[in-house]
Structures are given as C-alpha cells and as structure tokens.
Structure 1
Amino acid sequence: MSSFKSFTARQIIHVLEKANAQSALQRLRFVKPMHKTDRVYQVWQEGSHAELVWNEAVMRQKLDYIHHNPVKRGYVDVGEHWRYSSARDYEGQRGLIDIQRWY
C-alpha cells in the first residue's frame, strides 16, 4: 500500500504543479504534518487499514461510507451530486469513468 500511495502522490502533485493548481497545492501543503520534513505536501492520510470485504453486505457498507463522505464534508447534499463519485453510477447517472458495479 505504501508504494501505491507514494507513487500516486507523486503523480498527483506533478499534475497539480503542471496545471499551476496553486489552491489545491496550498491545501496539500497546509495538511502536511509539521514533523514530516521529507516532503512539501501531504496527499494521503497516514497509515493503511486493510479490511477484508467478504460479502455483498460489507461491500455495500463500504460503498455507502465512501459515497457519503462528500455529503458529510458539506460539499454536496447527496452523494451522487459529487462529480468524482461512483455514487452517480449507482444512481443511474453517468460518472466520469466507467466502473464495474458491485451490485
């Protein structure tokens, strides 16, 4: 997981720098812990907590949690209104990328 997070963080930062996305970069700079002196930005939360998704009920719970995050943060009123969410696909709308639905 750490290799994935490290690789994707570098790619995300590269794209943001290339696009001169100063607002996004400033937010990533702000959330970086002070004791992390080996980097300028923090893209991912620290740690990883792998959990086995062993049946459809657990998968639904995980998807519901993920789909509700933008609502919880106050970005949108309902999950499918968040343009980057697969919640759109599960509500019959077209998402930004094609997904393989789990149910």
Structure 2
Amino acid sequence: MGRSRYRFLDQHPHFLTCTVVNWLPLLSNPELVQILFDSLIFLHTHQRIALHGYVVMENHLHLIASSNKLSKEIRTFKSFTARSIVDWLQANNKTHWLTQLAFYKKAHKLEQDYQVWQEGSHPQALLTVEMFQQKLEYVHHNPVCRGYVDDPGHWRYSSYRDYHEQKGLLPIVFLEL
C-alpha cells in the first residue's frame, strides 16, 4: 500500500478530518467525546499542538490545528484515543461496538484487534486568511448543514462559541489575521 500524497507543512494551520471507521456513530457518546477532548487538552497544555477550531460530529471530527510536528501529533492523538476508546468500550461491555470495530479493521493491521479511525486525515494547509476563514466557517456550520441545529452556537462540541465571545470546551489559539 502506497503512502498518502497528502502532506503537512510545518508552522501553517491545517484543516484535517478524523473519521471513525465505516462512519460508525461512536462519537454520539459524550464519554467518548471526552476522551478526545482530554487528549486535545493534554496536547495543548504540553504545547504540542495549537487548536484554532474544531467540531465533533457523531462519526468524525474536523480540526484546524498547527504544530511544528503536526503529522506526528495527529498520529499520536489518533493512536492514543483509539486505544482509550477501545478500553472504555471493553470496560463498559459495549460488545456491539467492539464487534463493529473488529469487522471494519483493515486486514493489514495485524498487531491490533480493532480499528477506530480510518487511515489518514487529509491535511489541507491553510495558507491565506481567506482559506482559514472558509474552513473555520465550514467547521462551525457542519452541524447546521447536517440538520442537527439551526444555529451553530447551539452545537456543544464546537469552537464556534470561542469565536463569539463565549466560553467553549477546549482551549483555542486565535491566529492574528
């Protein structure tokens, strides 16, 4: 299997997506979303990633982030959260979800029993103010486009509130535009 043609450019914010295998709605469980948030807070606190925007949906999340080693940090994030999600599912006897994650695991992943995330994150470097603003608007309006809320400020798992003088759930690093 060849390497992805998608590449991270150091120092630039990137738009990226992490998708649950087969678009399973695992992230509709708030306890599993908290695993993602705890990991992102850890990466922020240890200055390993700067989060500029995000939205968590039931089966994927979009991030706008930057780091000197963004590719490595996203790989670490996905690996850690996958292991933590599987551990939580096992501890809470969620056999239906575990069966699904085992079924959709790629055949070449011999060292693991389950796969939580689809491979890749399709990073897109945001090189201009216009690109950044377009992607941030896309991120914040994702729940509206999906028909879950009428106003993006009503979606709990988004950085929208941070950009509108309200307190969000994750630390956001605002870019000088």
Q: TM-score range by the shorter chain?
A: 0.5 to 0.7
Shift of 1:46: 3.0
1:94 matches 2:167: yes
Shift of 1:90: 1.0
Higher-RCO chain (CA-CA 8 Å, sequence separation at least 6): 2
Determine which structure has the larger helix proportion and give its number: 1
Question: Which runs of 5 or more residues in structure 2 are unaligned?
Answer: 1-70
Partner of 1:49: 122
8 Å CA contact 1:29, 1:41 repeated in 2: no
Compute the TM-score of the two structures, normalised by the length of structure 1.
0.66
Partner of 2:106: 36
Residues 67/32 of structure 1: CA separation in 2 closer, same or farther (3 Å cut):
farther
Partner of 2:148: 75
TM-superposition CA deviations, 1:44-101 (whole Å, max 9, x none): 3332322221121111111111112222222222222111100111122211123122
Aligned length: 98
Shifted more, 32-41 versus 87-96: the winner is 32-41
Residues 75/47 of structure 1: CA separation in 2 closer, same or farther (3 Å cut):
same
User: Counterpart amino acid of 1:36?
Assistant: K
Q: Percent identity?
A: 45
**For 1:53 and 1:14, how far apart are their aligned partners in 2?**
35
Partner of 1:65: 138
Summarize the alignment of residues 2-13 of structure 1 with structure 2, pairs less than 5 Å apart: 3-4=75-76, 5-13=78-86
**For 1:21 and 1:92, how far apart are their aligned partners in 2?**
40
Residues 91/75 of structure 1: CA separation in 2 closer, same or farther (3 Å cut):
same
Residues 99/35 of structure 1: CA separation in 2 closer, same or farther (3 Å cut):
closer
User: Counterpart amino acid of 2:119?
Assistant: E
User: Counterpart amino acid of 1:65?
Assistant: Y
CA RMSD of aligned residues (A): 3.1
**For 1:74 and 1:21, how far apart are their aligned partners in 2?**
31
**For 1:99 and 1:54, how far apart are their aligned partners in 2?**
19
8 Å CA contact 1:76, 1:82 repeated in 2: yes
Determine which structure has the larger strand proportion and give its number: 2
Compute the TM-score of the two structures, normalised by the length of structure 2.
0.43
**For 2:138 and 2:102, how far apart are their aligned partners in 1?**
25
Q: SS at the partner of 2:124?
A: coil
